[in-house]
Structure 1
Amino acid sequence: MTSQQVFPSEAFPAYPTIKLNPPAGWTQQVVPEAVGALMAPATEGNYTANVVISVSRRRPGYGLQDIAASVDRFLDSLPEAVLLGTEPVTINGRDWYVREARYTHPQAGPLAQFTAVTVVDQEASADVVQLTGSCQPLEGNNDLKAIYSVVASAEITPAPGPAQSV
């Protein structure tokens, strides 16, 4: 006979809590295979700037350097990719790996993609929180600054442990 397993639990911890402060006018969207997304106000005929929020689960011991290498490989594979600045950053007391790339999307044209990742260690897992912002890199366009501000506002906390019975 098998025992019932529950999510969240000690064996299957809940995902970390993610708090972000979007700019005025940005909205929340549900997107497939992500926790969600924040979207800039849409303008007809233009690409809508956005920040996609995702969490992926890894085995304990998976670290920031592991996901950093994965991010670099992905960004380098984008069409006509030009990788820009990379550095470890501390945001609200948590270490992040941040990378920006410029590339040409087949339908949207030139895009900037700003990716920030951090790893939340839990007893049974390592959870990768990824914030991926995309926008058109146009002169006078404040979308990239808005994406930077969303990432700079990130507060990530491990999920609370399972409820304790008294």
Structure 2
Amino acid sequence: MPSTQLFPSTAFPAFPSIAVDPPEGWMPRVVPDAVGALMGPAVPGSYVPNVVITVSRRTPDYGLKDVANSVDAFLSTLPDAVLLGTEPVVINGRDWHIREARYTHPEAGSLTQFTAVTVVQQDVATDVVQLTGSCRASEDSQDLKAIYALVASAEVG
């Protein structure tokens, strides 16, 4: 006889908790397929800086190098993509893969996308936590600095 299965449970563990400290003026938003999103202050006629938080489930053998390769491959396909520094970093005791890219969005123009990913190993699965921030590209972007600070505050449990 089939038995009822429940989420969350041992067979289907809950997603990890994610805590971030948004910059002043940033507001939470609901975004499809995301567990959360934060938007910076809107300026009429300008691109709104944002950070979208997603969690996806993978097989238990999926690791940080696997997701790092996937992120890098995706970013390299963006129009006019210029991939900037990448490195493993530790944020609040957890290993992350960080990648920044500049690209041309067909409607918004030149944007910077900052992606940070980490994995949470569970007995039956690996959860991939991804924070993706985007803003107008500029050399001295306060929006990009706000995205850096938000990502640096991330605590995943």
In structure 1, the residue corresponding to 2:74 is in which secondary structure?
helix
Given the alignment of the two structures, is residue 67 of structure 1 paired with residue 67 of structure 2, yes or no?
A: yes
Residue 4 of structure 2 corresponds to which residue in structure 1?
4
Task: Measure how far apart 1:124 and its partner are.
Answer: 1.1
Q: Distance in 1 between matches of 2:77 and 2:35?
A: 24
Q: Residue deviations 1:96-141, cap 9 Å, x none? A: 0000000000010000000000000011110000000000013543
The answer for the alignment partner of 1:135 in structure 2 is 135
Identity of aligned residues (%): 68
1:18 aligns with 2:22: no
| Alignment root-mean-square deviation, CA | 0.7
Counting matched residue pairs gives 157
Question: Which amino acid counterpart does residue 99 of structure 1 have in structure 2?
Answer: R
Which residue number in structure 2 is paired with residue 121 of structure 1? Answer: 121
Paired amino acid for 2:125: S
Mapped to 1, the partners of 2:156 and 2:42 lie a distance apart of: 28
TM-score by length of 2: 0.98
Kindly provide the CA deviation profile for residues 8-38 of structure 1, in whole angstroms up to 9, marking residues without a partner as x.
0000000000000000110000000111101
**Moved beyond 3 Å, runs of 4+:** none
The secondary structure found in structure 2 opposite 1:80 is coil
Counterpart amino acid of 1:23? P
Corresponding position of 2:92: 92
Letter in 1 for 2:105: H
Matched residue SS, 1:113: strand
Q: In 1, Cα distance between the equivalents of 2:118 and 2:9?
A: 22
| CA distance in structure 2 between the partners assigned to 1:101 and 1:30 by the alignment | 25
Partner of 1:31: 31
Cross-structure match for 1:55:
55
With normalisation by structure 1, the TM-score equals 0.93
Deviations 1:24-83 (A, max 9, x none): 110000000111101001100000000000000001011000000000000000000000
Q: Does 1:46 align with 2:49?
A: no
